[in-house]
Amino acid sequence: MKVAFWYEVRIRNDGPPLYLKSVVERHKKDFKIDELEHWIPLKDKVKMYGDYDLNIWVDFGDDALEKGYGLEYEKVGKPNAYWVSDSHVGLEYRLKKAKEFDYVFVAIKDHVKLFKKKLGHNKVYWLPHAAEPIVYHSAFVNLFEHLKKAKDYKGKNYGYWTTHEKELIKEMDREGIKKHDICFIGHLNSQKRIDALDKLFKAIPEFYYNGSLFFEAAARKYMDSKIVFNISIGKEANMRAFEAPLSGSLLLTDKVKDLEELGFKDGVNCVFYKDIKEAIKKAKYYLKHDKEREKIAKAGQELVLNNHTYLHRAKELFKIINNIK
């Protein structure tokens, strides 16, 4: 089988599009893939690159945000699949784009019915966000023991880590200290979020905030923090909800039904709050109780390693497509 991954021409060559493609490449024998390519859309794609048995377009959160994004995208060859990321922003663009695809996977569960109605078919599925273990040091620390137990990874060769990643691990091993009590990395895209962070950071002065860190850089700050604060835009299971616990830090998040459905449990592998007042109260409590905090953080990391990596999402995507075929 020949598979091609496609991604928006203007984005960086990393993040979800690259992570999913990379994990499929490392396990392509398991997926019965003989040839795998990764392309930026260009003119006459099929003639230039040849026919594929499956074309996969992995959405990127910012695809529809900046002027020009998605306005002139070219059609991807068929058969094809589209993994829709942040459909709570740029929704109209993504609904329009989805019409070009045979299979549509949506990261926000509440939008599955909306896409089905708009597209007029039922080949729309919930495929939540995920996290990539190879960019998180504290996941590395527990990864080898985890790999011995995990059926998905048994017998695999993990020699693909780059020299840069190995050096990063050594650097973090030397430090081994969490510098921040709490951190939040994300955009200030609503007054609700601005007000919540203002109250939180006034109550907990040892905080870290950055609105424009991504992937490995964001992972580093998550790992440097005792608690990672999460506040969703529309009660969705966002990417931060998976990346934060994989970093080995405690996830403090607003209560989202999708997270509960995915195995997140308050006081067991994460901490839920109903409002910012409760969030501050719980943050202060867990900053004083290190053992409780670390126990929950470790359980959260195990939950993600066992259920919510890009390998798990790739397996689900191919399982659905192959079963339909």
Assign residue 32 the CATH number of its domain.
3.40.50.2000
d(CA 73, CA 298) in angstroms, rounded, equals: 42
Asked whether residue 294 falls in the same domain as residue 256, the answer is: yes
Asked whether residue 159 falls in the same domain as residue 259, the answer is: yes
pLDDT of 153: 41
pLDDT of 187: 87
**CB 250, CB 297: distance < 8 Å:** yes
Inter-CA distances, 237 with 94, 255, 312, Å:
18, 10, 16
Asked whether residue 97 falls in the same domain as residue 236, the answer is: no
Asked whether residue 11 falls in the same domain as residue 123, the answer is: yes
**CB 81, CB 55: distance < 8 Å:** yes
Total count of domains within the chain: 2
d(CA 227, CA 245) in angstroms, rounded, equals: 9
d(CA 325, CA 323) in angstroms, rounded, equals: 5
pLDDT of 173: 46
d(CA 298, CA 282) in angstroms, rounded, equals: 18
Asked whether residue 318 falls in the same domain as residue 302, the answer is: no
Asked whether residue 109 falls in the same domain as residue 137, the answer is: no
Asked whether residue 71 falls in the same domain as residue 142, the answer is: no
Structure tokens at 197: 């962070």
Asked whether residue 195 falls in the same domain as residue 303, the answer is: yes
Three-state secondary-structure class, residue 191:
helix
* One pLDDT digit (tens) per residue for the chain, 325 residues: 899 887 655 444 557 777 888 889 888 888 999 988 876 655 555 555 567 899 898 886 555 554 444 444 556 778 999 999 878 777 888 898 899 899 999 999 999 999 999 999 999 999 999 998 877 654 455 544 544 454 444 444 334 344 444 554 455 444 456 889 999 999 888 899 999 999 999 999 999 999 888 777 788 889 889 999 999 988 899 999 999 999 889 999 999 999 999 999 999 999 999 999 999 999 999 999 999 999 999 999 999 989 999 999 999 999 999 887 6
Across 84-98, b (16+ Cβ under 10 Å) vs e yields bbbbbbbbebbbebb
Q: H or E element: which one contains 48? A: helix 45-49
pTM: 0.84
Asked whether residue 179 falls in the same domain as residue 202, the answer is: yes
Asked whether residue 279 falls in the same domain as residue 302, the answer is: yes
Asked whether residue 112 falls in the same domain as residue 144, the answer is: no
Asked whether residue 151 falls in the same domain as residue 290, the answer is: yes
pLDDT of 4: 84
Residue 103: give the domain boundaries. Answer: 2-130+311-324
